[in-house]
Structure 1
Amino acid sequence: MGHPLMIGPQSKRDRVQEALSAHSNELVSLFSSGMLSDQSMPIIFTMARLNRVKNLTGLVECYSKNFKLREQANLVVVGGYFDVKKSTDREEIIEIEKMHGLMKRYNLHGHFRWIAAQMNRARNGELYRHIADKRGVFVQPAFYEAFGLTVVEAMTCGLPTFATCHGGPAEIIEHDISGFHIDPHQPDQVAKLLVDFFERCREDPGYWNNISDAGLKGIYERYTWKIYSQRLLTLAGVYGFWKYASELERRETQRYLEMFYILKYQDLVSSHGQDIRSIATPPDDFPNAGCSPFPALNEVIFLSHAQT
């Protein structure tokens, strides 16, 4: 008797994977500009909003200028619109025009595909996995990235990831172990790092797996929903405790100030032979009047000014 998951010569899992792969190939063809002549080549993949900080056009220019890199991998970019008429954001319009200009200037036909921004999260997940099946990489070229959600998503799908060294990704990735840090201000170095990676993968097919596995390990150790929820609950508990403790501290401080007022302050004023209230009550126009939540402390502040 055959394996329970086997249906004829293929398992259900194989059939599902084939269907997803076919659908992913279709996704890379839909809603896009440009084409990939040799689809057997690995893919350099990036996905982000199309604006100056995300620097997608910077990655395209970096790729375009390095012919050695173009010989080793295709480039697929997901972000923005193709038609400037569809965008109402001035910065995005500038980047759209720049992207079209780069495609023409460097004759990227056959090496580059530009896919419109995708709002379907399941579809985005399939794109990551499709690139991983092609033994490709994910590049996050932003000038600054506060956290790096796409970095976590790509690494979760097993993609070796090259991400900006400015911001959150610098903490997510351990350079040359679970991924690579890149400086978007040094595009030549970025291109060289990618070329070296693909050359090493060609010489040692296991290298891609090593980086992929290390990236997955880092994600499972630090960025799963279970870990996130545990940290959130811990922080909520700590916040609740200190909020309670700080309330206690304020009450104790007020009691101390009242004690100081009764035991020390009254005697100090009386020793000067003046009525306590005539000197201790600050006028309405006194600059520090009302600055403290404790009435006694306000009077102490005023008295210190009056005696000087």
Structure 2
Amino acid sequence: MARLDRVKNITGLVEWYGKNARLRELVNLVVVAGDRRKESKDLEEKAEMKKMYGLIETYKLNGQFRWISSQMNRIRNGELYRVICDTKGAFVQPAIYEAFGLTVVEAMTCGLPTFATCNGGPAEIIVHGKSGYHIDPYHGDRAAETIVEFFEKSKADPSYWDKISHGGLKRIHEK
């Protein structure tokens, strides 16, 4: 859930997903970013949209990938988090840098296991391996593998998903 800016690295996440066959076997990807309903006047956003469409085509993501336009309705955003949580998904915030990380706090508050950039505020919000996971946006292959490892562990032992979910909720309530 972000603007479709380079710094948010949403297209980076889509590329990590597209390149990782095991991740694609384990989970689908839902991206909430930009506004697909209208043509942007912002040159950076236009470039990111073009890149996104190219990645969808290059990696043949149809059927495994859903791109939803950014939502301004807070209730609808909360429902999106809950739907992903209810289906035992996870939240990934792949930004190059994030000053605070409101979406990280929102996702963890909903009980979503959360993967977020190690650059900026999320590095202080998440305790790696206990309440979520730090990922390095400059090492997308490694970030994708961290996500794969989480879902493989959760598949083998469903209580693992719950452990990280509860760890995130505990961290939010404590801090």
Pair in the same fold by TM > 0.5: yes
1:193-232 deviations in Å (ceiling 9; x for gaps): 111111100111100001000100110111xxxxxxxxxx
- Identify the structure with bigger relative contact order (alpha carbons < 8 Å, sequence gap 6+): 2
Corresponding residue number in structure 2 for 1:152: 105
TM-score by length of 1: 0.56
Tell me, yes or no, if the aligned pair for 1:148 and 1:169 is still in contact at 8 Å: yes
Unpaired runs of 5+ in structure 1? 1-46, 223-308
Between structure 1 and structure 2, the one with the greater Rg is 1
Corresponding residue number in structure 1 for 2:8: 54
| Alignment partners' CA distance in 2, 1:117 and 1:90 | 18
Tell me, yes or no, if the aligned pair for 1:50 and 1:95 is still in contact at 8 Å: yes
Corresponding residue number in structure 1 for 2:168: 215
Indicate yes or no: 2:23 matched with 1:78.
no
Corresponding residue number in structure 2 for 1:65: 19
Q: How many residues align?
A: 175
1:237-279 deviations in Å (ceiling 9; x for gaps): xxxxxxxxxxxxxxxxxxxxxxxxxxxxxxxxxxxxxxxxxxx
**Deviation of the 1:82 alpha carbon:** 2.2
Which among 138, 145, 158 is matched to residue 192 of structure 1? 145
1:163-186 deviations in Å (ceiling 9; x for gaps): 000000000000000000000000
- For 1:56, give the aligned amino acid: I
Unpaired runs of 5+ in structure 2? none
Following TM superposition, where does structure 1 have runs of at least 4 consecutive aligned residues deviating by more than 4 angstroms?
none
- What percent identity do the matched residue pairs reach? 65
Tell me, yes or no, if the aligned pair for 1:178 and 1:218 is still in contact at 8 Å: yes
Q: RMSD over aligned Cα, in angstroms?
A: 0.8
- For 1:89, give the aligned amino acid: D
- For 1:131, give the aligned amino acid: I
| Alignment partners' CA distance in 2, 1:152 and 1:180 | 13
